[in-house]
């Protein structure tokens, strides 16, 4: 496995690897992806194998130009109104942390999409990712570069520690700017639905195309009747058991030995601390001192990775305010806790 800093040379080497059917972990603005040529079924199998990812969980197809949709997506299956909304979203929010479900063309093999006739398309807002995509096949299928069910990687080192030699190359582009995955939006049905909260807030989408529905993944059964494949209740989980509480409820919890604590802001941490006589030396972390939601999102996985290494028996976490990126933070915390 090669672990290389981002340079023009390492990006073109990574593109060679992808073109010849290999897999490369690369940075995006949300989390790191594990990329393979989206048109090469054998390369896609490797992505599932390396992640230990079930084949019913479809991948996201990353593009670096809107025109690629002409090759990979079948927009003729969308009605005029949906097409109009697609272009409003693409013009305003791409490149960016938004994956849009569209009918796919046969050029994208069924394995990429778990046999679905649709695929999730995303145009990342990250120069390295875009260069890599354009220099390889123009369409790179990439899930987050973590073992299935685990915490998403926001740094190249997270991948080296978890997948290591199973990948051909890791491109090190430093810490991810946004820190939570893209929002997954399904525009193919009668109602437009958010299938996964993520880096593009619901409010932003609604300001452009009007009200959207939320597919509540906490209602989804992991064995049968998946509304959105891959949206399992338990996901994004540290190895350490995690419980998540509202501010009111976390304040009722006593600080015990071998526990770690994750607060949204300094204010909440201080309120909790006031009610405690801390008797133990335990990890206590805050996502954003001032309570800035974007900063909190960007630090979520990184902080969970750190707490997971601290050898405690349980992590107690506090919900973020349910607005903007707070919805994505809370979704990840709930899934980490299931």
Contact residues toward Mg ion (CB under 5 A) are: 144
Helix 80-93 to helix 202-209 angle (10° resolution) is: 130
Alpha carbon distance 71, 296 (integer Å): 38
Residue among 40 and 144 whose Cβ is closer to Mg ion: 144
For residue 102, what are its two tokens?
A: 């569209």
> By three-state DSSP, how is residue 120 classified?
strand
Instruction: Rank residues 62 and 85 by Cβ distance to ligand TXA and give the closer one.
Output: 62
Min dist. Cβ of residue 184 to Mg ion (A): 11
Q: How far is the CB of 134 from ligand TXA (least distance, A)?
A: 16
Question: Which stretch in 54-62, 202-210, 261-269, 308-316 sits in contact with ligand TXA by CB under 6 A?
Answer: 54-62
Q: Does residue 99 interact with ligand TXA by CB under 6 A?
A: yes
- Shortest Cβ contact with ligand TXA: which residue? 230
Binder of ligand TXA out of 58, 173, 201, 326 (CB under 6 A): 58
For 321, other C-beta atoms within 10 Å of its C-beta total 16
Least distance CB 75 / ligand TXA (angstroms): 15
Give the residue, chosen from 11, 14, 18, 30, that forms a contact with ligand TXA under the rule CB under 6 A: 30
Among 57, 101, 331, smallest CA distance to 216 is for 331
Supply the DSSP string of 14-39, one letter for each residue. HHHHHHTT--EEE--SSS-EEEEETT
Q: Of these, 118, 128, 298, 303, which contacts ligand TXA (CB under 6 A)?
A: 118
The H or E element containing residue 10 is helix 8-19
CA atoms within 13 A on the CB side of 178: 25
Q: Which is nearer to ligand TXA, 53 or 285 (CB)?
A: 53
CB-based contacts of 192, cutoff 8 Å, min separation 6 = 85, 185, 186, 209, 212, 213
E-only strand ranges, the chain: 2-5, 24-26, 33-37, 60-63, 98-103, 118-122, 139-141, 169-172, 183-186, 193-196, 213-214, 242-245, 259-263, 284-286, 314-318
Q: Closer CB to Mg ion, residue 231 or residue 268? A: 231
- Extract the tokens encoding 77: 């299956």
Which DSSP string do the residues of 300-325 spell out, in sequence order? HHHHHHHHHTT--SEEEEEPPPSSTT
Q: Which is nearer to ligand TXA, 85 or 235 (CB)?
A: 235
Q: Are 170 and 3 in contact (CB under 8 A)?
A: yes
Binding ligand TXA by CB under 6 A: which of 37, 74, 125, 181?
181
Burial class (CB in 10 A: 0-12, 13-18, 19+), 210: exposed
185 binds ligand TXA (CB under 6 A): no
Size of the site for ligand TXA (CB under 6 A): 29
Closer CB to ligand TXA, residue 85 or residue 104? 104
Residue of 176, 156, 330, 314 lying closest to 240 (CA atoms): 314
Q: Of the two residues 30 and 144, which places its CB atom closer to Mg ion in the complex?
A: 144
Sole window of 9-17, 73-81, 178-186, 244-252 interacting with ligand TXA (rule: CB under 6 A): 178-186
Contact track, ligand TXA, 188-227, x by CB under 6 A:
-------xx-------------------------------
Report the DSSP beta bridge partners of residue 185: 100, 194
Residue 154 as a binder of ligand TXA (CB under 6 A): the answer is: no
The partner in contact with residue 200, picked from Mg ion, ligand TXA, none with C-beta cut-offs of 5 to 8 angstroms by kind, is none
Residue 28 touches which member of Mg ion, ligand TXA, none, C-beta under 5-8 Å by kind: ligand TXA
Taking CB under 6 A as the criterion, the residue among 136, 231, 268, 318 binding ligand TXA is: 231
Q: Residues interacting with ligand TXA, by CB under 6 A?
A: 28, 30-31, 33, 57-60, 97, 99, 101, 113, 116, 118-120, 122, 142-144, 181-182, 184, 195-196, 228-231
């Amino acid at each position: 496995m090669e672990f290389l800093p981002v340079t023009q040379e390492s990006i073109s080497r990574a593109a060679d690897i992808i073109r010849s059917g290999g897999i490369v972990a690369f940075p995006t603005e949300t989390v790191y992806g594990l990329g393979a040529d989206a048109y090469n079924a054998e390369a896609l199998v490797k992505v599932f194998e390396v992640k230990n990812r079930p084949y019913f969980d479809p991948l996201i197809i990353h593009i670096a130009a809107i025109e690629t949709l002409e090759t990979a997506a079948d927009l003729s299956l969308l009605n005029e109104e949906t097409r109009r909304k697609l272009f409003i979203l693409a013009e305003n929010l791409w490149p960016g942390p938004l994956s849009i479900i569209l009918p796919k063309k046969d050029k994208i093999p069924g394995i990429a999409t778990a046999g679905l006739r649709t695929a999730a398309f995303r145009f990342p807002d990250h120069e390295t990712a875009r260069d890599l995509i354009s220099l390889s096949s123009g369409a790179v299928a990439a899930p987050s570069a973590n073992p299935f069910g685990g915490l998403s990687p926001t740094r190249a080192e997270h991948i080296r520690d978890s997948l290591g030699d199973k990948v051909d190359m890791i491109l090190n582009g430093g810490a991810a700017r946004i820190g939570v995955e893209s929002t997954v939006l399904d525009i193919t049905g009668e109602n437009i639905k958010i299938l996964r909260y993520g880096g593009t807030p619901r409010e932003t989408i609604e300001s452009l195309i009007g009200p959207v529905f939320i597919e509540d993944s906490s209602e989804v059964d992991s064995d049968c009747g998946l509304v959105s494949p891959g949206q399992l209740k338990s996901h994004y989980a540290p190895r350490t058991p995690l419980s998540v509480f509202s501010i009111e409820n976390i304040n009722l919890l006593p600080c015990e030995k071998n526990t770690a604590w994750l607060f949204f802001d300094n204010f909440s941490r201080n309120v909790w601390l006031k009610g405690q006589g801390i008797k133990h030396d335990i990890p206590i972390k805050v996502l954003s001192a001032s309570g800035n939601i974007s900063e909190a999102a960007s630090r979520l996985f990184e902080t969970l990775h750190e707490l997971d290494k601290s050898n405690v028996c349980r992590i107690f976490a506090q919900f973020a305010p349910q607005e903007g990126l707070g919805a994505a933070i809370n979704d990840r915390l709930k899934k980490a806790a299931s």
